[in-house]
Structure 1
Amino acid sequence: MSKRLVSLGDSFTEGVGDEDPSSPNGVRGWADRVASTLAANHQDFRYANLAIRGKLLGQVLAEQLDPALALNPDLVTLYAGGNDLMRPKVDIDALIDDYDAAVGKVVATGARVILFTGVDGVEDALFRRIRGRVAIYNEHVRGVAVRHGALLVDMWAMRQLRDRRLWAPDRLHLNSLGHNEIAIAVLEALGEPHKLTPAELGPRPLLSPQARRTENLQWGKEHAVPWIKRRLRGESSGDSLAPKRPTMEPYA
C-alpha cells in the first residue's frame, strides 16, 4: 500500500503533452493520473511531483533526489536520461552508474521504486536515429531494477506507443491518450485497481508520401527548429519553471 508518492524526472513525468490549464504548470500527465487513482483507493494519500521539463539525468538527481527523500515517501517514480540520449555525445555507462547509486539511495530508505525503460522509436524518423542508444540504456535500467528490487514499467515493450496518435504534435511528448497508457501500466505494476481504459483508436490512417512530407515540413518548422535553437543557445524549456507539486499534499 502506497500513501506517500513522489515523482522525479523530466518532461515525461511533469506531464508535458497532456495540456491542462487547470493543472500546475499547465500540464497533467500520467503521474497525476496515477495519484488521482491512489487518492481514491487510499485514505490519507499524499503526492508530490518534482519533475521539470528539459532536465538531464544529472540535473534530476542533483536537484530533485534529496528534496524528494526529505518528503519521506514510501513510493518513488524515477525516469531520467531521455534528454541525455538526444545529445550529440553521451556516456551511457556513466549515466547508469549515477542512476544506480540514486536508486540504491532511495531503496535504502525503505521506499518502493518504479523505473521505466525508454520507448522504442523504430517507426519515428527522429527517435529511430537513437534507437541503439535507447536499447543500451534500457538494458542497463533493467539491471538496475533487478539489483534493487524495483518495479519496472517497460515502455519499450508497449507497442501501442509506436502509434503517433498517442503523441503530442511535437512528437517528443505523449499526449493525453499516451499519458493515460502510462498511468495504466504504472497502476498495474503496483497491483492497484483502477477505472482507466486504454485508447481504442482503430486502424491507423494511411498518408500519401506527399501528405507525409507536408506534415514533416510543418513539424520541422513549428517544433524541430525551435528545439535546435534552444540547444544552440544552451537553453532549456524548463529553465524558468518550478516543480508543479513541490510539497507532499493530498491530490485534488
Structure 2
Amino acid sequence: MASEPVFHRYVALGDSFTEGVGDPDKRRPNGLRGWADRVAEVLATKSDDFRYANLAVRGRLLKPVIAEQLEPALRLSPDLVTVYAGGNDILRPKVDLDLLGELYDAAIGRLAVSGGRIVMFTGYDLGYAPVFGKLRGRVAIYNELVREIADKHGATVVDFWRFREYRDDRYWDIDRLHLSSHGHKQMAIHVLDTLGISHELKKPRLPKAEPPSKRQRRDADLQWAKEFAVPWVQRRLNGTSSGDAVKPKRPTLDRI
C-alpha cells in the first residue's frame, strides 16, 4: 500500500470559493476560514515545516486571477497548488468559454513546469437551481475544458459537479452563491480524500430544517433578490466588484 503524500508548501489560488466566503471566522485574516484553511490545518499535522498561503480574492474573474496570483504563487515554489477560477466569468451575461480554456491552460501549464501537485475543480451542477439552472450548459462545457487541461498537465481534479449532497440548501450561504460553513467543511473532506490524505474530519451535522411552504419559498426568493441579486447586478452595471478593496488573506507562506 502506497504511503500518503506529504506537502510542505501549499498555495491556494482563486476567487471567493477559495478565499472562504460564507465561512466567517473573526479570528482569521479577512474574517474567513473556508475549505482551504481546513485542508491546510490537516496538512500541517503531517509535516513539521508546513507553510500555507492563500492568494484568492472574492469577485475575481479568471483573467485577473491569473494576472494577480500566478507569478506570486510561482515565487513561493509550492509543492501543492489548488486553483479554482472561471466561476465568476460563467455568471456574466456573455462569456467566451474557449478563450477561458486557453487562458486557464496556459496558466496551469506554467504551474505544472514548477513541479508541484496541482488540484483543479469542476464547477457545480446547477441543474436543480431555479435561477442559476439556465447556466448548466455553460458549466458543463467549462468542466470538460477543466478535465482536458488537467489531463494535459497531470493535474488532479476535485469533481464538484458530482457532489450531489450540495443540492441541500444547508450547504450554501444565504446568498445562494457561496458555500456555508457546512459546505466548506464538506469540501475540505472532498479535497483531502481526492489527494489521499488521511484525516479525522467528519461529515457536517446539519441543523434540522422543515421543507418551506410555497409562500415561504416565494418570500425567501423575494428577500434574496432584494439583498443579493439586485446589488450583484448593480455592481456589474457599475463595473465594480465585491473584491475591489480586498487583499489576499495569506499572501506569504506561514504556519497555519
Question: Normalising by structure 2, what TM-score?
Answer: 0.95
Gaps of 5+ in 2: 1-5
CA separation in 2, counterparts of 1:203 and 1:175? 15
Q: Choose from 142, 146, 156 the match for 1:137.
A: 142
1:222 positional shift: 1.1
Aligned to 2:3: none
SS in 1 for 2:201: coil
Computed over aligned residues only, the root mean square deviation of the Cα atoms, in angstroms, reads: 1.2
Q: How does 1:1-252 map to 2 (within 5 A)?
A: 1-201=6-206, 205-251=210-256
4+ runs of 1 displaced by more than 2 Å?
Answer: 199-205
SS in 1 for 2:118: strand
1:218 positional shift: 0.8
CA separation in 1, counterparts of 2:131 and 2:253? 37
2:14–2:57 Cα contact (<8 Å) kept: yes
1:205 positional shift: 2.9
SS in 2 for 1:8: strand
Q: C-alpha offsets along residues 101-140 of structure 1, whole Å, 9 cap, x if unaligned? A: 1111111111110000001112212220211100100011
In structure 1, give the amino acid aligned to 2:195. L
In structure 2, give the amino acid aligned to 1:117. T
In structure 2, give the amino acid aligned to 1:125. P
CA separation in 1, counterparts of 2:197 and 2:121? 18
CA separation in 2, counterparts of 1:160 and 1:71? 35
Q: C-alpha offsets along residues 173-226 of structure 1, whole Å, 9 cap, x if unaligned? A: 001100011100111111111111112438863222111101101111111111
In structure 2, give the amino acid aligned to 1:118. G
SS in 1 for 2:68: helix
CA separation in 1, counterparts of 2:210 and 2:162? 23
SS in 1 for 2:131: helix
CA separation in 1, counterparts of 2:255 and 2:131? 39
1:120–1:162 Cα contact (<8 Å) kept: no
Gaps of 5+ in 1: none
In structure 1, give the amino acid aligned to 2:117. R
1:90 positional shift: 0.3
CA separation in 1, counterparts of 2:107 and 2:40? 23
